[in-house]
């Protein structure tokens, strides 16, 4: 090969690199064989307490839902996971068709007209929705509910820090939802969007319709961040006045995986589609009239529009979106509703059991699969004692909500058995008595 090219050494190809900087020594561990790497990684993996060995009641943005075997079987096909972004449609119809189906089902869940091919995760999707609302309305102020996931609010601030935007947070009412009167006070004719989460960070269902009326009255958009599993049971945000709906799609067929890869869902009304970030797949036909799919409306995107693009996003989370697409296909109309019902009933069973214990109090109103509990013993101590019993407890709300010190946010899904819930309640009872 080198001979054919007239090279005496590969080094000649690197002659352009300043000699004193070339071939630096790298202090890296010695190379290992496949057997050794697997052993090393198995050892690291076993140092983690996994959800198959321990019942966990953590949620707060990452969820342990059932993943049918079909999902991994589909996304493990090399034809899907070793392909690139479908820039050449004739050899990418598999990926393109699946994205079109994904877009269709995201719209169906959210009650929206258009959904994109995916964003990085729920948090970045929410931030991009804020930026999009500012473009649509040509306004610079965002009102966010303080009942939105704290990390999501922080990511919104990170994303908007260079854009000269003003972020105002509306406080919480006694029932755990955003305070409507405070929302009304903060909204004005400079407001691009009101952003709420539904169910919110504390698990509560927000009352979307009045919020949409408040937002629309000042010409702002209503952005809703929704849990797609909840949408198997509850009304679509689009039917309650939302203009942009985003969400975290990890719960649709992907494991918690220590926080990623996840997938951001992003949908909006038709009239705003040209301000949408991210990729879109559309139907097209070839010269013989055969249906196919292409990446479309690309002039919104960075590779065409450069600094005038609607976002800088390029690679998204295509394979995780394919997992979500497969999940929704295999659960289908009945399965998703059933999964949501199981979450709802089991979470309520757990909440009632815990709230009936002396010293424990459930806070707030209507909820889906997460609920806040005030504990008689410091929350961190409760979790410590639960862990001694082999249970991973709830999320400690004091981290983000100083007024909710000594409160835990528990999450219950279809993965929990009655026995696991009963064991949690019994353990909490013992912990409460020990004091």
Partner 1 sequence: MTVPLLFELSSPGRVGCRLPELDVPEAMLPESLLRDQLPLPELTEREVVQHFTLLSQLNYSVDTGFYPLGSCTMKYNPKMHEEVARYRGFAQIHPWQDESTVQGALRLMYELQEQLAEITGLPAISLQPVAGAHGELTGMLIIRAFHLERGEEGRNVVLVPDSAHGTNPATAAMCGYEVVTVPSDERGNIDVQELDRVADETVAGLMLTNPNTLGLFDEHILEVADILHRVGGLIYCDGANMNALLGIAKPGDLGTDVLHLNLHKTFSTPHGGGGPGGGGTAVTEDLRPFLPVPMVASRRTIGTEGESAEYYLDYERPLSIGPVSGFYGNFGVMVKAYAYLRSLGQDGLREVSENAVLNANYLLHGLKGYYDLPYDRPCLHECVFSGKAQAKLGVHTIDIAKRLIDLGFHPPTVYFPLIVDEALMIEPTETESLETLDSFVAAMRQIAEEAKTEPEQVRGAPRTTPVGRLDEVAAARKPDLKWQG
* Near partner 1 in 165-204, by CB under 8 A: none
DSSP 52-88: TTSEE---TT-------HHHHHHHT-HHHHT---S-S
- Return the residues of window 338-377 that contact partner 1 according to CB under 8 A: 338-339, 341-342, 344-346, 348-349, 352, 366
Residues 214-273 interacting with partner 1 (rule: CB under 8 A): 231-236, 239, 248, 255-262, 273
* Of 144 and 187, CB closest to partner 1: 144
Interface residue with partner 1, options 55, 95, 214, 324 (CB under 8 A): 95
307 binds partner 1 (CB under 8 A): yes
Contacts with partner 1 by CB under 8 A: the residue count is 194
> How far is C-alpha 182 from the geometric centre of its chain's CA atoms?
27
Dihedral pair phi/psi, residue 53, rounded to 5°: -95, -25
Min separation Cβ 326 and partner 1, Å: 6
Residue 298 binds to partner 1 (criterion: CB under 8 A): yes
**How near is the Cβ of 95 to partner 1 at its closest, in Å?**
4
Using CA atoms in the order 177, 179, 184, 189, what is the torsion angle rounded to 10 degrees? -60
Question: Other C-beta atoms within 10 Å of 250: how many?
Answer: 27
State the number of CA atoms in the 13 A half-sphere of 306 facing the CB: 0
* By the rule CB under 8 A, 93 interacts with partner 1: yes
String marking each residue 8-47 x if it binds partner 1 according to CB under 8 A: --x-xxxxxxx--xxxxxxxxxxxxxx--xx-xxxxxxxx
Calpha distance 425→348 (Å, rounded): 13
Q: How far is the CB of 244 from partner 1 (least distance, A)?
A: 15
x/- mask, partner 1, residues 113-152, rule CB under 8 A, reads xxx-xx-xxxxx------x-----------------x-xx
Nearer to partner 1, 107 or 178 (CB): 107
Residue 408's nearest CA partner among 366, 349, 362 is 362
Q: In a 3-state reduction of DSSP, which class is residue 367?
A: strand
Nearer to partner 1, 134 or 187 (CB): 134
Task: Please say whether the beta carbons of 237 and 258 come within 8 A.
Answer: no
Shortest Cβ distance from residue 311 to partner 1 (Å)? 7
Pick one of 8, 138, 306, 435: the residue that binds partner 1 (CB under 8 A). 306
Long-range Cβ contacts of 333-341 (<8 Å, 24+ apart): 336/229, 336/232, 337/232, 337/233, 338/232, 339/65, 339/66, 339/229, 339/232, 339/414, 340/229, 340/230, 340/231, 340/232, 340/233, 340/234, 340/368, 341/232, 341/233
The interface with partner 1 within residues 374-433 (CB under 8 A) comprises 383, 387, 392, 395, 414, 417-418, 421
Q: Judged by CB, which is closer to partner 1: 218, or 429?
A: 429
Between residues 71 and 214, which has the closer beta carbon with respect to partner 1? 71
Residue 158 in contact with partner 1, rule: CB under 8 A: yes
Q: Which of 166, 213, 315, 426 binds partner 1 (CB under 8 A)?
A: 315
Cβ atoms of 57 and 391 within 8 Å: the answer is yes
- CA–chain centroid gap for 53, Å, is 25
Task: Copy the structure tokens of residue 266.
Answer: 């992003």
The nearer residue to partner 1, 187 or 431, going by C-beta atoms, is 431
Kindly state whether residue 334 participates in binding partner 1, applying the rule CB under 8 A: yes
């Amino acid at each position: 090969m080198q001979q054919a090219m007239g090279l005496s050494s590969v080094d000649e190809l690197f002659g352009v690199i300043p000699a004193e900087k070339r071939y630096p020594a790298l202090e890296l561990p010695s190379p290992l064989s496949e057997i050794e790497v697997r052993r090393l990684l198995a050892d690291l993996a076993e140092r983690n307490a996994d959800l198959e060995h321990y019942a966990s009641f953590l949620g707060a943005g990452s969820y342990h839902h059932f993943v049918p075997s079909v999902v991994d079987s589909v996304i493990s096909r090399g034809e899907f996971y070793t392909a690139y972004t479908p820039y050449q449609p004739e050899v990418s119809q598999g990926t393109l068709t699946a994205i079109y189906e994904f877009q269709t089902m995201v719209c169906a869940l959210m009650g929206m007209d258009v959904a994109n091919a995916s964003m990085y995760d729920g948090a970045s999707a929410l931030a991009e929705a804020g930026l999009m609302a500012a473009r649509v309305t040509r306004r610079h102020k965002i009102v966010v509910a303080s009942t939105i996931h704290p990390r999501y609010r922080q990511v919104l601030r990170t994303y908007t820090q260079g854009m000269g935007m003003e972020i105002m947070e509306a406080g919480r009412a006694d029932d755990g939802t955003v305070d409507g009167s405070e929302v009304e006070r903060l909204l004005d004719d400079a407001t691009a969007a009101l952003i709420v989460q539904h169910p919110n960070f504390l698990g509560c269902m927000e009352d979307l319709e009045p919020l949409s009326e408040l937002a629309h009255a000042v010409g702002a958009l209503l952005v809703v961040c929704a849990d797609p599993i909840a949408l198997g049971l509850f009304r679509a945000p689009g039917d309650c006045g939302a203009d942009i709906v985003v969400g975290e799609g990890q719960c649709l067929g992907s494991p918690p995986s220590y926080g990623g890869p996840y997938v951001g869902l992003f949908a909006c009304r038709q009239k705003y589609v040209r301000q949408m970030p991210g990729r879109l797949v559309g139907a097209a036909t070839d010269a013989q009239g055969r249906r196919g799919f292409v990446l479309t409306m690309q002039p919104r995107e960075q590779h065409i529009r450069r600094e005038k693009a609607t976002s800088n996003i390029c690679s998204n989370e295509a394979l995780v979106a394919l997992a979500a697409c497969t999940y929704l296909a295999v659960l289908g109309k009945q399965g998703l509703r059933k999964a949501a019902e199981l979450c709802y009933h089991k979470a309520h069973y757990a909440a009632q059991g815990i709230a009936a214990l002396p010293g424990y109090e459930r806070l707030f109103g209507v909820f889906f699969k997460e609920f806040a509990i005030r504990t008689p013993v410091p929350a961190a101590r409760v979790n410590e004692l639960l862990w001694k019993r082999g249970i991973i407890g709830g999320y400690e709300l004091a981290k983000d909500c100083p007024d909710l010190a000594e409160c835990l946010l528990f999450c219950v899904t279809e993965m929990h058995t009655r026995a696991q819930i009963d064991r949690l309640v019994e353990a909490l009872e013992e912990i409460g008595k020990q004091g």
